[in-house]
Amino acid sequence: MDVEIFPHRLLSAETTEKLLNKLGEIEGIKRMIIQGQRLPAGEHPDRRVINVKGQDIELKVKTGRIFVEIEDKKTMEKIKEVCDEVFPFKYELIPGTFFRRQKTVTDAIKFGKDVDKLPTELVGMTDTVLD
Protein backbone atom coordinates (compact mmCIF):
# COMPACT_ATOMS: atom_id res chain seq x y z
CA MET A 1 0.00 0.00 0.00
CA ASP A 2 1.24 3.49 -0.82
CA VAL A 3 0.34 6.94 0.47
CA GLU A 4 0.94 10.34 -1.09
CA ILE A 5 1.48 13.21 1.34
CA PHE A 6 0.39 16.33 -0.53
CA PRO A 7 1.10 19.50 1.47
CA HIS A 8 -0.76 22.60 0.30
CA ARG A 9 2.56 24.47 0.27
CA LEU A 10 6.05 23.73 -0.98
CA LEU A 11 8.26 22.61 1.89
CA SER A 12 11.47 24.32 2.98
CA ALA A 13 14.62 22.26 3.44
CA GLU A 14 14.15 22.44 7.22
CA THR A 15 10.56 21.20 7.08
CA THR A 16 11.50 18.45 4.62
CA GLU A 17 14.30 17.29 6.92
CA LYS A 18 12.07 17.37 10.00
CA LEU A 19 9.25 15.48 8.25
CA LEU A 20 11.50 12.77 6.79
CA ASN A 21 13.21 12.18 10.14
CA LYS A 22 9.89 11.85 11.97
CA LEU A 23 8.52 9.55 9.26
CA GLY A 24 11.72 7.51 9.52
CA GLU A 25 10.85 6.70 13.13
CA ILE A 26 7.59 5.01 12.12
CA GLU A 27 7.63 1.23 11.90
CA GLY A 28 5.79 0.00 8.84
CA ILE A 29 7.29 2.45 6.35
CA LYS A 30 9.26 0.62 3.68
CA ARG A 31 10.52 3.49 1.49
CA MET A 32 9.92 7.16 0.69
CA ILE A 33 10.42 9.41 -2.33
CA ILE A 34 10.21 13.20 -2.35
CA GLN A 35 9.06 14.96 -5.51
CA GLY A 36 9.07 18.59 -6.45
CA GLN A 37 10.36 21.22 -8.79
CA ARG A 38 14.12 21.40 -9.27
CA LEU A 39 15.91 24.10 -7.36
CA PRO A 40 17.37 26.79 -9.64
CA ALA A 41 21.04 26.55 -10.60
CA GLY A 42 23.45 28.47 -8.41
CA GLU A 43 22.95 29.47 -4.83
CA HIS A 44 19.56 28.88 -3.24
CA PRO A 45 18.71 28.73 0.48
CA ASP A 46 17.12 25.29 0.11
CA ARG A 47 20.03 23.84 -1.89
CA ARG A 48 21.81 22.13 0.95
CA VAL A 49 22.56 18.80 2.52
CA ILE A 50 19.89 17.48 4.88
CA ASN A 51 20.44 14.67 7.35
CA VAL A 52 17.82 11.93 7.38
CA LYS A 53 18.27 9.10 9.87
CA GLY A 54 22.01 9.79 10.04
CA GLN A 55 22.48 9.86 6.26
CA ASP A 56 23.45 13.06 4.44
CA ILE A 57 21.31 13.74 1.36
CA GLU A 58 21.79 16.63 -1.06
CA LEU A 59 18.40 18.29 -1.54
CA LYS A 60 17.92 19.13 -5.22
CA VAL A 61 14.17 19.83 -5.26
CA LYS A 62 11.67 22.06 -3.49
CA THR A 63 9.56 19.33 -1.89
CA GLY A 64 5.97 19.32 -3.12
CA ARG A 65 4.92 15.70 -2.53
CA ILE A 66 6.15 12.75 -0.54
CA PHE A 67 5.34 9.20 -1.61
CA VAL A 68 5.50 6.57 1.13
CA GLU A 69 5.25 2.79 0.78
CA ILE A 70 3.65 1.35 3.90
CA GLU A 71 2.86 -2.11 5.26
CA ASP A 72 -0.72 -1.51 6.44
CA LYS A 73 -3.45 1.06 7.14
CA LYS A 74 -2.36 1.49 10.77
CA THR A 75 0.84 3.07 9.49
CA MET A 76 -1.24 5.67 7.64
CA GLU A 77 -2.69 6.86 10.97
CA LYS A 78 0.84 7.32 12.34
CA ILE A 79 1.78 9.30 9.22
CA LYS A 80 -1.26 11.53 9.80
CA GLU A 81 -0.11 12.21 13.39
CA VAL A 82 3.36 13.22 12.16
CA CYS A 83 1.93 15.48 9.45
CA ASP A 84 -0.40 17.14 11.99
CA GLU A 85 2.63 17.82 14.18
CA VAL A 86 4.98 19.09 11.43
CA PHE A 87 2.64 21.05 9.13
CA PRO A 88 1.05 24.30 10.34
CA PHE A 89 -1.01 24.28 7.11
CA LYS A 90 -3.40 21.95 5.31
CA TYR A 91 -2.30 18.79 3.55
CA GLU A 92 -3.86 15.68 2.05
CA LEU A 93 -3.07 12.00 2.57
CA ILE A 94 -3.99 10.11 -0.57
CA PRO A 95 -3.87 6.29 -0.60
CA GLY A 96 -3.06 4.66 -3.93
CA THR A 97 -0.37 2.92 -5.94
CA PHE A 98 2.63 5.18 -6.56
CA PHE A 99 5.60 2.77 -6.59
CA ARG A 100 6.39 0.22 -9.28
CA ARG A 101 6.93 -3.21 -7.79
CA GLN A 102 7.99 -5.18 -10.85
CA LYS A 103 10.76 -4.72 -13.39
CA THR A 104 9.50 -3.54 -16.77
CA VAL A 105 10.66 -3.74 -20.38
CA THR A 106 12.03 -0.21 -19.91
CA ASP A 107 14.18 -1.47 -17.03
CA ALA A 108 15.47 -4.29 -19.23
CA ILE A 109 16.41 -1.79 -21.96
CA LYS A 110 17.96 0.64 -19.48
CA PHE A 111 20.00 -1.92 -17.51
CA GLY A 112 20.51 -4.65 -20.11
CA LYS A 113 21.85 -7.88 -18.66
CA ASP A 114 22.28 -6.13 -15.28
CA VAL A 115 18.49 -5.87 -14.82
CA ASP A 116 18.56 -8.97 -12.59
CA LYS A 117 21.02 -7.19 -10.26
CA LEU A 118 18.46 -4.44 -9.57
CA PRO A 119 17.11 -5.05 -6.04
CA THR A 120 13.31 -5.16 -5.78
CA GLU A 121 13.27 -2.24 -3.32
CA LEU A 122 14.98 -0.01 -5.94
CA VAL A 123 12.60 -0.78 -8.82
CA GLY A 124 11.32 2.56 -10.12
CA MET A 125 13.70 4.57 -7.94
CA THR A 126 17.09 4.51 -9.70
CA ASP A 127 18.70 4.79 -13.12
CA THR A 128 21.89 2.96 -12.16
CA VAL A 129 22.58 -0.53 -10.91
CA LEU A 130 24.56 -0.67 -7.69
CA ASP A 131 27.19 -3.41 -7.41
pLDDT digits (tens, 9 = 90+) for 72-112: 999 999 999 999 999 999 999 999 987 666 666 666 656 66
Which CATH entry fits the domain spanning 2-99: 1.20.120, 3.40.50, 3.90.1170, 2.50.20? 3.90.1170
- Concatenated DSSP letters for 67-125? EEEESSHHHHHHHHHHHHHH-SS-EEEEEE--S--S--HHHHHHHGGGGGGS-GGGTTT
End-to-end CA distance of the chain: 28
Domain boundaries, the chain: 2-99, 100-131
β-sheet bridge partners, residue 29: 70
Flag the least confident range among 43-47, 51-55, 126-130: 126-130
The predicted pLDDT at position 104 comes to 66
Question: DSSP 3-state assignment of 41?
Answer: coil
